Structure 1
Amino acid sequence: MKGNQSINLKTYLNYMFFSYTVYEVTAKNEATNEFLRHLQSNKEFDFWSKINKVGKPVSVMTSPKVQNEFEKYLSSHGIEYRVQIEDVQSTILSEKEYHRSRQALKHKKISFDQYLRHAEINAYLDQLAQDYPETVTVSPIGQSYENRSMNIIRISSSSGPSSKPVIFVEAGMHAREWISPALSLYIINQLVENPNNSRLLEDIDWIVLPSMNPDGYEYTWDVNRMWRKTRSPGVECDGVDGNRNFGFHWMEQGASDRECSDSYAGKEAFSEVEARNLRDILAATANISAFISLHSYGQYLFYPYSYDDVVPDNWQELRYLADLVKDVIFAINGTKYTTGSSTEVLYPAAGCSDDWAMGGAGIKIVYVFELPGGGEHGFDPPPSRILPVCAETWEGIKVIADYVAQNAKKIQ
């Protein structure tokens, strides 16, 4: 049944994470990575970050059932590891309690010291459309599986039809990555409510989709904080990884055909209505010059392609611009990003929205931000870190915007 179904107590208790531990494991050789890949099919392990190149850390949550055996294996094979989070549920509970206390304050204006629910996100967009009708237009691109409105906000200084290049920002694909929608709202806030950024509207129009997976996102608030996929029903397990569901090299490397996998690509390309909604708005929008997808975590800045170890014709341009962005972000707080294609830096992941944006929709400037994580908070920085992460990343996105404005004819 679609809609906001009530959740029974048994279901809720199934997603408590008392004594679940997150380990940071550093592979010393490819054999270790092969061991980690093998664990991805085991439901007692939940990989919070992508399996990395040798020498790079990987974060994985383990159930209490397997922790002793897991530690023994790592120690006996000389694999470096450390406990990143001792008890995941205690972190989740403290996060929930903080947001309950903040929601009680009933801010009239948006604040970047808390994460917002899907309805609150849409309410903020609607408020901006009301307050800034000359700049802001809000419209739905469709409904999610559970009939939540997927709204985009178009920000433009042009009162009528515009031929300016468009930057399209997509956020919230993976439900548990809360910092992703938060950053999209910060981008919107800076473009609409900060007059110091008015120059960024002179030569560019912006479209932002803050909530790509609203059903999964709400599920992380109400039931399972660790949920990643959509909420469409399956036979054995529910949901599809939206970022494996796009129809450019669908179901190739890095995608799973197992329903219970977090990287399950679906029964077919674009099986998920959320992926179809994004595909259709990209096709219907003229002059998109840049597409930015926001994820967490890992401090990576990727450009296509993700499906295999291949790069687009303009890879040198993409690398050059990515390095400019990386340097600007580093200069602010010392945050270090790694740049490159997904397969160059990590591993193949076919069926992603960034590959579709370039290979399917023909957009030339395409990036994926894997934003900083929260250390002991996992996917998302604690509330005190939301604003610093958003502010430093925004400076990098402004670099992309300036490049698009200066090179509009070449990249359209």
Structure 2
Amino acid sequence: MTIGTNGNYAKSYANHQLWRLHVTNNEQIAKILAFSRIAHLHDINFWSKHFRIHEPIDIRVPPQAIDDFADFLTSDGVKIEYVVHMNDIGAIIERQRILQNLTQSSSNTNDFAYDKYHTIEDIHAWVDQMVATYPEMVTPFTVGKSYENRDMKGFKISSKKMATKRDGTKVTAKKAVWWDGGIHAREWISPATVIYTAYTLLSKYGQDPTITQLVDQFDYYILPVFNVDGYAYTWTKDRLWRKTRSKTSVANCYGADPNRNWDYDWCKSGSSHDPCDDTFCGEKAFSEIETAQVAKFIADQRGTIVNYINFHSYSQLWMSPWSYTTTSPAQFKLQDDGSIQAINALTAVHGTQYQHGSVAQIISPTSGSTIDWTYGIANVTFSYGVELRDTGEYGFLLPENQIIPSGEETMAGLEALLMYIDKHVYA
């Protein structure tokens, strides 16, 4: 693993705490929502993006802000209760870094460890390995170059067989799905889970009847890491970096939130015009080369892709459009029933509980999101944003021993969802 020149990450989170706020009324919600817009000025970072009564809100607080933030939570006659959920985020990051160094997988890509987190270089080598190992099924593609000139590298899985309708007739125009991970750089369980599910499709094809059927019915576009620059940065400089790494109009403030940068109701609710904020929407819609190129790739497959999933962490949510409004789209029941199929199958594996619904209803309205564009512009009916494990015990610092369980349950959910989609697109 490449680390900072001082033997550690360049940005230290020593003595930073994670506070869990408990809000019980709308006054408290309004107070904390207003503060969220200026939190970055104090190096206070909201790990939770939802602001709802009786839903915990996780906030990283640096040591220099602890006293003032505690005072703020009791000020103005609106007291907000909290507990210190993590006493020292930096110590957790350091323990995980040491463990990763001790358990580094072999340099031989054939020994890729699916129960470990991997650098962007390792992941791209794994893509090459899949192409070499399954040449009849895997075709590499590069969406384009990132801002820092990295390849946005993925692959297509196809059995080359024709899909079959419910009545047994063959379909010449096979439908496709797109799954991507790592749109937010710090959410390491996301690429790890996408990698696990893609490998499961390949390694169990011809052995597992359900997977064999699903690979024959659909083509799969897999992009393990969307935000390649940001992800690389989390391995070398700042473990909790979220955005891209493009330059902005403000010195020393970098990147935009690639899940707020899409040209659909861009930069209204739930996003920021401040380049220093974690939810900065960009200077304009599709200002980020990464989002623009993924959008072009998907648009070029218009009419083919019927399922899009943007994997995130954390909170255990399976969400459909809309993100920008709590008003449900015309196809909401069709989409949400797919979510229900997925989470029921997922829960059956390890008992992990997920919620379902639209993004705006479950979290809060968010403009310029990926799935609003894929659904509203690219006409991908079954567009979802999935928040993986956990519900906040570890948050973005999910231990490696949860990678395989996350992959197993997510794969079960995907199988159930694809069986559901199959019935509707090949009717």
TM, length-normalised to structure 1:
0.93
Q: Secondary structure at the match of 2:64?
A: coil
Contact 1:36 1:51 survives alignment (8 Å): no
Residues 56-95 of structure 1: pairs in structure 2 closer than 5 A:
56-74=55-73, 77-95=78-96
Letter in 1 for 2:61: T
Deviation at 1:228, TM superposition (A): 0.4
Deviation, structure 1 residue 125: 1.0
Aligned to 2:33: 37
- Residue 316 (structure 1) aligns with: 333
1:233 to 247, 257, 268: 247
Three-state SS of the structure 2 residue aligned to 1:114 is: coil
Deviations 1:126-170 (A, max 9, x none): 111111111000111101000110012100100799621101112
Distance 1:171 1:399 in 2: 20
Q: Which residue of 1 aligns with 2:308?
A: 291
- Which letter maps to 1:319? D
Rounded Cα–Cα distance in structure 1 between residues aligned with 2:83 and 2:355: 22
The aligned counterpart of 1:135 is 137
CA shift for structure 1 position 376: 4.8
Conserved? CA contact 2:105–2:112, under 8 Å: no
Residue aligning to 2:407: 390
Residue in structure 1 matching 2:180, options 157, 161, 170: 170
Contact 2:322 2:360 survives alignment (8 Å): yes
Which deviates more from structure 2 when the two are superposed, residues 301-310 or residues 368-377?
368-377
Q: Please, which runs of 5 or more residues in structure 1 have no aligned partner?
A: 1-5
Aligned counterpart, 1:209? 223
Equivalent residues in 2 for 1:4-403, closer than 5 Å: 13=10, 15-40=11-36, 41-43=38-40, 44-74=43-73, 77-103=78-104, 105-106=106-107, 108-158=110-160, 163-195=173-205, 196=208, 197-236=211-250, 237-286=253-302, 287-373=304-390, 375-403=392-420
Give the letter aligned to residue 145 of structure 1: Y
Q: Sort the Cα spacing of 1:118 and 1:365 in 2 relative to 1 into closer, same or farther, 3 A.
A: same
Change in Cα spacing, 1:162 to 1:36, as seen in structure 2 (3 Å) is: farther
Which stretch has the larger CA shift, 64-73 or 391-400? 64-73
Do the aligned partners of residues 54 and 348 (structure 1) sit closer, same or farther apart at CA in structure 2, a change above 3 Å counting?
A: same
What's the offset of the Cα at 1:356?
0.7
Moved more, 104-113 or 202-211: 104-113
Contact 1:134 1:159 in 2 (8 A): no
Q: How many residues align?
A: 405
Residue in 2 aligned with 1:3?
A: none
**Considering only aligned residues, what root-mean-square deviation do their CA atoms show, in Å?**
2.3
The answer for the alignment partner of 2:425 in structure 1 is 408
Tell me the alpha carbon deviations over residues 252-279 of structure 1, each in whole angstroms, 9 at most, x when there is no partner: 2111111111110111110010001110
Rate the CA distance shift 1:230–1:158 in 2: closer, same or farther, 3 A: same
> CA separation in 1, counterparts of 2:105 and 2:346?
34
* Structure 1 runs, 4 residues or longer, greater than 6 Å off: 6-9, 159-162
* Pair 1:282–1:337, CA change in 2 (3 A): same
CA offsets, 1:287-318, max 9 Å, x none? 11111110011111110010122222111111
Q: Deviations over 1:36-71 (max 9, x none)?
A: 223322222101111331110111100112212333
Question: 1: CA distance between counterparts of 2:148 and 2:297?
Answer: 19
1:82 is paired with a residue whose SS is strand
Q: Which residue in 1 is equivalent to 2:168?
A: none
Cα deviation for residue 374 of structure 1 reads 7.4
The whole-number CA distance in structure 2 between the counterparts of 1:202 and 1:173 is 28
| Kept in 1: contact 2:58–2:392 (CA 8 A) | no
Percentage of identical aligned residues: 31
For 1:86, give the aligned amino acid.
N
**Structure 2 unaligned regions, length at least 5:** 163-170
TM value normalised by structure 2: 0.90
Contact 1:138 1:152 in 2 (8 A): yes
